[in-house]
Amino acid sequence: MMQRIIFLVDMQSFYASVEKVRDSSLQHQPVIVAGDPERRSGIVLAACPLAKKHGITTAETLGSALYKCPEVQVVRPHMQLYIDVSIQISKIMEQFTDLVEPFSIDEQFMDVTGSRALFGDQFEIAKKVQAKIMMDTGIYARVGIGPNKILAKMACDNFAKKNKDGIFRLDQNNIDKLWKLSVGKMFGVGSKMKRHLNGMGITTIGGLANFPVKLLRKRWGINGEVLWRSANGIDYSPVTVKTHDQQKAVGHHMTLPRDYNDLDEIKVVLLELCTEVARRCRLKGYMGTTITCGVRGANFDYPTGFHRQTTLPFATDYDLDIFKAAFNLLQQFWDNEPIRSLGVSLSNLQPSNNYQFDLFNNYLLKESLNNAFDTVWDKYGRTALFRASSLTAAGQASERAAKIGGHYK
């Protein structure tokens, strides 16, 4: 059986790179892309290589970045531009293979197994992909190569990004290079999991790869085996264009512009989130039964909050159904401490064109209201119609309508 050739193509400092292309005066300056510090979203979203040389890292506060490098150029994000460029890059990749799978806005998988007769061996193809992306967008791409997606991803993250040519292949012949790295460098291992693994005496990826899989399964179930397989470079998942066809959940999360500690104020934002979740579900043609509500406290040193869910006896895409369930969760599990962020999601999704009627639910009225809301929003925009509570000081609907993913378009 022919071994697959999978690429994980990653755009270097994507947001910052796009900004340098957009404004050539930034080319030779340290640049970071960050949110609005006055609205509590002053977090570094991307830092160019020149900024990283000063020790600036993604996700640190804007204040910390400015302290490290006072001369750094701070650019507000332009999310619609980044989305447009990401789509453009997808189309470039599709010139080399029809198997392109977006992994994030700046990372995409490619299966080029069947492309060698047209474009050369795997390294030639990688160089051609890099060159085409650079020529058409001005953005430098790094390419991790492997016989599967997990090895391509870890090849890119741990080796290609540090190579002069930005290309590296990782497979069973050189997996020992991966095994020497800290277990925290493995894809799928965050800081919390790293602490658990370290507590078991597992400090390297090789240590995890050679740890008895039965003990990992006993500790974490199927996730324990996934960790062991990843460490050993085992992954049978194909590169597919249908990855995002079926969603598992629709959600909305908001970092608040200030600490909210009054239940009535939190209710306002919670209702706005539920309205947005319901609208997104209808746009995608889904209804759902499981509502999840999550809150994060304002104190970073002593984290508080909760993440809980409840299931309705019927499927819904109506915002007040979602709100009532989410508000019940908030009342049960909120500790009355100030909160910094709030999120709601709807899962256990099913197509909205085929659902079971509930005798105790007025579906026709809800459907009529949904149609009325959607007709106005589609024609006049999201700020044309919202509840009066959003006009209070706590409301965020008008501000959020001008954003994509929490950032200005």
Domain boundaries defined on the chain: 1-171, 176-231, 249-408
Residue 243 has pLDDT above 70, yes or no: no
Catalytic, 107? Answer yes
Q: At residue 282, what are phi and psi to the nearest 5 degrees?
A: -65, -40
Average pLDDT for 287-303: 85
Q: Which of the four pLDDT bands, split at 50, 70 and 90, describes residue 255?
A: confident
Q: Which of the four pLDDT bands, split at 50, 70 and 90, describes residue 22?
A: very high
Range name among 133-142, 154-163, 392-401 with the lowest pLDDT average:
392-401
> What is the structure's pLDDT at 122?
96
Across the strands, what pairs with 278? none
- Single-letter residue type at 190: G
In this structure, which long-range contacts are made by residues 98-104, counting pairs with CB atoms below 8 Å and at least 24 apart in sequence?
A: 98/241, 99/239, 99/240, 99/241, 100/239, 100/241, 101/239, 101/240, 101/241, 101/243, 102/243, 102/244, 103/8, 103/153
Q: For residues 341 and 293, which has the higher predicted lDDT (pLDDT)?
A: 293
Which strand (E) or helix (H) includes residue 269? Answer: helix 263-284
Average pLDDT for 362-388: 77
For β-strands 141-146 and 167-169, DSSP reports them as: parallel
Range name among 78-92, 300-314, 337-351 with the lowest pLDDT average:
300-314
Q: Report the distance separating Cα 309 and Cα 26, nearest Å.
A: 46
Q: What is the CA radius of gyration of the chain?
A: 24
Query: Looking at domain 176-231, which CATH architecture does it have?
Result: Orthogonal Bundle (1.10)
**Homologous superfamily (CATH) for 1-171:** Reverse transcriptase/Diguanylate cyclase domain (3.30.70.270)
Single out the catalytic residue among 19, 107, 265, 276. 107
Q: Which of the four pLDDT bands, split at 50, 70 and 90, describes residue 353?
A: confident
Task: Find out whether 245 is annotated in a ligand binding site.
Answer: no
CATH code of the region 249-408? 3.30.1490.100
- Give the DSSP per-residue string, 93-122: HTTT-S-EEEEETTEEEEE-GGGHHHH-SH
Range name among 142-151, 258-267, 333-342, 377-386 with the lowest pLDDT average:
377-386
Task: Find out whether 10 is annotated in a ligand binding site.
Answer: yes
Q: Which of the four pLDDT bands, split at 50, 70 and 90, describes residue 388?
A: confident
Residue 332 has pLDDT above 70, yes or no: yes
Q: At residue 120, what are phi and psi to the nearest 5 degrees?
A: 100, -170
Q: What is the pTM of this model?
A: 0.73
